[in-house]
Chains A and B, each alone.
Chain A
C-alpha cells in the first residue's frame, strides 16, 4: 500500500512540479506571475484541442504525432499566455499582481469555454471529453519496470512526462547556479538597476524567462489531463493546482531541485486523506488544507531564519524602468 501511495503522490505531484519550476524561472527574473493557474489551464486545454482534432481526423494514431501534436499545442498556448504577461508587465509596466490575477481568470474562462465547446461537438451525455487513445501513448511506461519489484514500481513505473519534469527541474538548477546566463538572470531579479548597469538586457531576460517559464508550467496542465486524468477533460477538474504550484515555489525557496521533493510531498499531502480510514467528508477537506498549512509554516520559518539566500528575489513584483531611479 505504501508503494501505491507513493505512486499516487508522484502522479499528483508532477503537475505541481511543472508549474513550480516554470514559476521559479519566471520569478527569478523578478516577474511574479500569479497567472500560473491560468497558464496551466490554457496549457491543458490547448493540448486537449490539438489531440482532439488529431483523434477526430485519424482512425489509426501514429505514436509520434499523438504525442507531438498535443505537446506542441500546449507549448504554443502557454507561450501566448507568457507573452501576454510579459508584454503587459515588462513593456507596458502594468501592475504584476493585477495582470497575473487577470490572466488566471482569463485562462480558466478560456479553458472552460473551449472545453465546453468540444464537449458539445462530441454530443456526449457526460460533461467531459475522453481522449483515452492519446492518453495511452502518454501513459506508456518502461516495459521492464514491472519486473524489478518495488524498485521498479517506485522509480521506473511512470510515464515519460514525469521524467521530463524532473529533468527540467535538474537542468534549471544547473542553469541557475552554474551558467553565466543563469547568473545574469538572477541579477535581473535581485537588482534590475545593477544588472542594467552591468550591461545585461533586463527586458530580454524578463521576456525569455517568463515565456519559457510559462511553457514549462503549461506542460503541467497537459500532464494533468493526459496522465493523471487518463485523457479525460472536464471543466474545472484541474482545481486549484495552479495556486498549489505557486505555494510550492515558496516551499522550495526558489530552488527547482527542492521543488522535486516538494511536489511529491505536496502530492502526498493532497491525497493522504484517501489512505486514512473512516474519515468524514469534513475531515477530508481539512486534510486537503495540509499543503497550504505546510507552506505557511515554511514561510514563517524562512522569515525567522532571515537567511538572505532563502528570501525571494529582491526585485520580485517590481517592474523595471531605467529612467526612474
Chain B
C-alpha cells in the first residue's frame, strides 16, 4: 500500500471465547490524516483500538507502523511506538493538577512542576487548547478533563492518536472546539483515529471512514465521496429475517402514559429531555438507541429510582381501574403495583443479583418483606428457584450455587425469571440478551412473548435492530435523551431507525 502509511492493520482477528469481536479487519492511516471508525454498538470498534494501544493482543493478523511490522504487547509498547489512546473513561488523579497528571509516571530529567507547566502551556497553545495547568482535576469540567487526557498523550510525544467516542460527553460547542484542535493536529502531521457513531461528525471531520459491522470489516470509503445514507447502509446492513413469532396484540389498553419527562444526572447533565410515550398492555414496545442515550435513566425513572425534574408517569391499574401517578410513589410502591424492571447492565451482576448469594437467596431479595416471623422462610423461594431452573433450563449444579459461578446467560435467565415470576403488569427489560448465545436469546424472546400474550405491557430496550424489528410491535427511538421518532414494528426499516438513532437533537452543528 501507500508508503507513507503511519499505521497499517492487516487481517486482524480477535475472539473472546466463542464471540468474534473482530474478524479480518484491515485499515490504513497515513500521516496527517483523520480516519473515522464507524459502527453500531458491539461492532468491535473499541476492541480493535485496544489492540493498537496494547490492551488486547490480536489472535491473528499483523500491525505495521511506518511500514515495519510491530508487536504491541502492553500500553508501554504502544507508547514507545508513539501511539496514544484517549479512553472514554478518563484515567486521572482527582486531587492532582493538570500538569501533575500529565507528567505522572514520566521520567524526563529534573523534576520541576513549574517548568513542566510552562511546557504544557506551550503545547496547549500550539494546538489551541484552553487550559490552566495548575487547575485541579476535581474542579474541571468533562471537556477540560478530556483536554488533559489529550495533552497527556501529546506530552509523551504521540504521533498516532486514538480517540474513543470523544464527543459522547461533550456539548456541541465543546465538540466543535475539539474538532478544530484535531484539525490542527492533522496539519501538524499527526495521524488521528476517531471512534464514533455520529454520522454528521464523521462527515465533517474525517478524511476516510472505515465501517465495522458485528466485528466484520465492511470497507473504507473516502468521506468526500460518500453520504449519510450510504454510510448508514454500510453500518446496519441489510435486514435479516430472524423468525421471531409476533402475534397481533390482543385488546391493547394504555398501561403507562409517560408525559414530558425531564431528568438530570449527578453531574448536572440533562439525560432525558421532554420524553413522552405510551406503553400498552399486550404489546412489546421496543426502545432503540445508541448506548447511553438515556435508556437506563428512562427505565429507572419509571421504576422510581431516578429523580424526575419534571413530568408525569400515569399508570392505569388494571385491578382497580384507577390511574396513579408513579411520580409520587416510592420504588417499593411501584413494584407492588406490578411494574417490574429487569435491567441487565454491562457487568450483569451489578444490578439486581448478588453474586455471592445462591439462587434461592437471590429470589428472597424480592420477597423478604413478605415474611411474618423474624426467621427466614426459605421454602417458597426454594420452590421458585427450582421452578425457574427447570422451566428456563438454567445450567447450574444446584439452587444453592452462588450466582457469580453461573455463566452470563444463566445469570440473565435467573434475573429475568425472577421478575416474570412476580406476574408483573409492566415488565421492563434492558439488554436481556446481552452476551447470550442464539439459543438462550430465543428463550428470552419466547418468555417476553409469553408475557405479552398474558396481557403484560412489555418494554424492551435492545441493541440489535434486527431483533427489535422482529420482536416489537412498536419501536420508539431515543437519541441524546429525546425521542427522535416512533415506528411500527411490522413496517420498520433498519435504515430508518439507524438514521433516527444518530439524529440527536443536541448534535454538534459543526461547520
B94 at the interface (CB under 8 A from A): yes
Alpha-carbon separation in the docked complex, A31 to B462 (Å): 43
Question: CB-nearest residue of chain B relative to A194?
Answer: B91
- Tell which of B91, B94, B96, B138 touches A193, judged by Cβ atoms closer than 8 Å: B91
Q: A183-B100, A197-B75 are in contact. Are A191 and B105 (CB under 8 A)?
A: no
- Tell which of B94, B104, B138 touches A198, judged by Cβ atoms closer than 8 Å: B104
In A178-209, the 8 Å CB interface with B consists of 178-180, 183-184, 186-187, 190-191, 193-195, 197-200
**Size category of the binding interface on chain A:** 20 to 34
Q: Is the CB of A190 within 8 A of B93?
A: yes
- Tell which of B79, B95, B107 touches A190, judged by Cβ atoms closer than 8 Å: B95
List B contacts of A195 (CB < 8 A).
Answer: 93, 104-105
List B contacts of A180 (CB < 8 A).
Answer: 103, 107, 111
Q: A195-B104, A199-B76 are in contact. Are A309 and B95 (CB under 8 A)?
A: yes
Alpha-carbon separation in the docked complex, A199 to B96 (Å): 17
- Tell which of A179, A187, A193 touches B111, judged by Cβ atoms closer than 8 Å: A179
B11 at the interface (CB under 8 A from A): no
Q: Nearest Cβ in chain A — how far from B116, in angstroms?
A: 10
Alpha-carbon separation in the docked complex, A172 to B398 (Å): 56
Question: CB-nearest residue of chain A relative to B79?
Answer: A199
A308 at the interface (CB under 8 A from B): yes
B92 at the interface (CB under 8 A from A): yes
Question: A153-195 toward B: CB 8 Å interface, digit per residue (1/0)?
Answer: 0000000000000000000000000111001101100110111
List B contacts of A184 (CB < 8 A).
Answer: 104-105
Alpha-carbon separation in the docked complex, A193 to B94 (Å): 13
In B76-97, the 8 Å CB interface with A consists of 76, 79, 91-96
Alpha-carbon separation in the docked complex, A221 to B479 (Å): 64
List B contacts of A197 (CB < 8 A).
Answer: 75, 91
A298 at the interface (CB under 8 A from B): no
Q: Is the CB of A308 within 8 A of B107?
A: no
Q: How many residues of B contact A (CB 8 A)?
A: 18
Which residue of A186, A191, A194, A198 has the most chain B CB atoms within 10 A of its CB atom?
A: A198
Q: Is the interface of A mostly helix, strand, loop or mixed?
A: helix
List A contacts of B79 (CB < 8 A).
Answer: 199
A314 at the interface (CB under 8 A from B): yes
Q: Is the CB of A191 within 8 A of B75?
A: no
List A contacts of B184 (CB < 8 A).
Answer: none
Q: Is the CB of A194 within 8 A of B92?
A: yes
- Tell which of B76, B104, B136, B138 touches A187, judged by Cβ atoms closer than 8 Å: B104
List A contacts of B75 (CB < 8 A).
Answer: 197, 199
Q: Is the CB of B105 within 8 A of A308?
A: no
Q: Nearest Cβ in chain A — how far from B175, in angstroms?
A: 25
Question: CB-nearest residue of chain A relative to B111?
Answer: A180
Q: Is the CB of B93 within 8 A of A308?
A: no
List B contacts of A187 (CB < 8 A).
Answer: 93, 96, 104-105
Q: A184-B104, A187-B104 are in contact. Are A308 and B92 (CB under 8 A)?
A: no
Question: A309-325 toward B: CB 8 Å interface, digit per residue (1/0)?
Answer: 10100100000000000
Alpha-carbon separation in the docked complex, A114 to B111 (Å): 46
Question: CB-nearest residue of chain A relative to B109?
Answer: A180
Alpha-carbon separation in the docked complex, A131 to B227 (Å): 90
Alpha-carbon separation in the docked complex, A207 to B71 (Å): 32
List B contacts of A178 (CB < 8 A).
Answer: 111
Question: CB-nearest residue of chain B relative to A193?
Answer: B91
Q: Nearest Cβ in chain A — how far from B27, in angstroms?
A: 25
Q: Nearest Cβ in chain A — how far from B58, in angstroms?
A: 20
Question: B135-146 toward A: CB 8 Å interface, digit per residue (1/0)?
Answer: 010100000000
B residues lining the A interface (CB < 8 Å): 75-76, 79, 91-96, 100, 103-107, 111, 136, 138
A-B contact pairs, 10 of them (CB 8 A): A178-B111, A180-B103, A180-B107, A186-B96, A191-B94, A194-B91, A194-B92, A197-B75, A199-B76, A199-B105
A residues lining the B interface (CB < 8 Å): 178-180, 183-184, 186-187, 190-191, 193-195, 197-200, 308-309, 311, 314
